[in-house]
Amino acid sequence: MDFQYSAKTISYLERVRSFIAEQIAPVEQQALAQEQTADWTRWRVSPAIEELKAKARQAGLWNLFLPDAAAGLTTLEYAPLAEEMGKSLIAAEIFNCNAPDTGNMEILHLFGTPEQKKQWLEPLLAGEIRSVFAMTEPDVASSDATNMRATIVESGGELVLNGRKWWSTGLGHPDARIAVFMGVSDAAADRHSQHSMVLVPLDAPGVTIKRMLPVFGEYDAPYGHGEVWFEDVRVPKSNVLWDLGKGYEIAQRRLGPGRIHHCMRAIGAAEKVLELLIRRGSSRVAFGKPLLRLGGNLERVAKARVAIDQARLLTLYAAWKIDTVGAMAALTEISAIKAVAPTMLQTVVDDAIQIYGGAGLTRDVPLAAYFGMARSLRIADGPDEVHWGRVARLELAKYKQREP
């Protein structure tokens, strides 16, 4: 077993690392200083972000997440780059590698018609527009994708969509143009074939953005997470993604490589947080000793080191399995890492906040932002329990097969 990254990964890693250090880090605080207001109509993209995106694209550090894009990186080769991006709160966006656009680009890439790709995938890959994934609904337990109740009805050669969606990430972005809408197109079909996914331009009549939802009081401007209503929205039938009845399958496929990007970034975020914890804990003194020398603080450092490394190895293993046997044969590893990585980050950030004292709760350091990210990932990417449940089911299934 070779734990060495490939030469290609090492070369990209060096370039991503220097770009973040030289170009992104100096302007990150300023670019993030967007007013956290519920009035999303006032949200703007910082000119610094647009400038950096242009530079990253020119430097060939663009769309690195997509195996078929210019860089041609495998999931395993991309993982350390995503980790590096996770050390910054804005880097993923600068390299056009941010959620939910990555997942949406992936499904357009896999299932889009040539016309859909021309209209929506090309501008997304160019970073000119942003997109939304509108699956979750306020009225049903959305951790079960078969629960969605929004409707898709054929009428006069068109599709008519109705439903209320929320937690649609990116909905407040000034460049958001397209939503991937999930709804029931055939209630009589079997549970996994009732739903479809349809592309809906956000300026279509009947689409109304109701509000943005804060995460612990923060709106994540200029992306945001919104509630949006679809009322008798009419789109051509050619806006169906893949085919009618394929919604659940697309949702499952979207949970593959794209979704372990969160885990890779969470590991980078944890590395950054551990560095902050150690620097603060070694330089600040209480009761005559550096904070790290008090109580059980050194042990916390050791445990964080090991937890991060465990999560990284599990993530790289999941990435390797996705590349070698496919996402559907790597379900245990994908589910495991989705449950492990955000919880690990949450614990490391919590310890760092504690070492920082009051300062840890302010915006002077990014710890509160990382905590919000970790805590919400434990729900946003599917609740922990759903991932653990899948690991357990797959484990039990092994023994069922062996029963006489």
Ligand X SMILES: Cc1cc2nc3c(=O)[nH]c(=O)nc-3n(C[C@H](O)[C@H](O)[C@H](O)COP(=O)(O)OP(=O)(O)OC[C@H]3O[C@@H](n4cnc5c(N)ncnc54)[C@H](O)[C@@H]3O)c2cc1C
Closest approach, Cβ 325 to ligand X, in A, equals 25
Q: Which two tokens stand for residue 18?
A: 């220097």
40 near ligand X, rule: CB under 6 A: no
- Indicate the residue among 63 and 142 with the shorter CB distance to ligand X: 142
Within 162-181, which residues bind ligand X (CB under 6 A)? Answer: 167-169
- Indicate the residue among 222 and 281 with the shorter CB distance to ligand X: 222
CA dist 178 and 112 (Å) reads 14
List 13, 32, 129, 386, residue binding ligand X (CB under 6 A): 386
Positions of E strands within 189-248: 195-201, 207-212, 225-236
- Indicate the residue among 131 and 315 with the shorter CB distance to ligand X: 131
- Indicate the residue among 204 and 379 with the shorter CB distance to ligand X: 379
Q: Which amino acid is at 316?
A: L
CA dist 86 and 268 (Å) reads 5
Within 82-101, which residues bind ligand X (CB under 6 A)? Answer: 100
**Number of residues located near ligand X, criterion CB under 6 A:** 21
248 near ligand X, rule: CB under 6 A: no
CA dist 13 and 65 (Å) reads 13
36 near ligand X, rule: CB under 6 A: no
- Indicate the residue among 225 and 280 with the shorter CB distance to ligand X: 225
List 133, 230, 248, 371, residue binding ligand X (CB under 6 A): 133
Positions of E strands within 185-284: 195-201, 207-212, 225-236
For residues 109 and 121, is the Cβ–Cβ distance under 8 A?
Answer: yes
- Indicate the residue among 19 and 370 with the shorter CB distance to ligand X: 370
239 near ligand X, rule: CB under 6 A: no
62 near ligand X, rule: CB under 6 A: no
Closest approach, Cβ 104 to ligand X, in A, equals 9
- Indicate the residue among 258 and 268 with the shorter CB distance to ligand X: 258
Residue 41 has what DSSP assignment? G
For the window 204-233, what string marks contact with ligand X as x by the rule CB under 6 A? Answer: -----------x---------x--------
**183 CB-near residues (< 8 Å, 6+ apart):** 148, 149, 150, 151, 152, 161, 162, 163, 195, 196, 198, 247
124 near ligand X, rule: CB under 6 A: no
CA dist 74 and 20 (Å) reads 22
- By CB atoms closer than 10 A (0-12, 13-18, 19+), residue 140 is middle
Query: Using CB under 6 A, which of the segments 69-77, 111-119, 130-138, 326-334 binds ligand X?
Result: 130-138
Question: Count of CB atoms within 10 A of residue 28's CB?
Answer: 19
258 near ligand X, rule: CB under 6 A: no
What number of CA atoms fall less than 13 Å from residue 132's CA on the CB side?
32
Residues that bind ligand X (CB under 6 A): 100, 133-136, 141-143, 167-169, 215, 225, 376, 379-380, 382-383, 385-386, 389
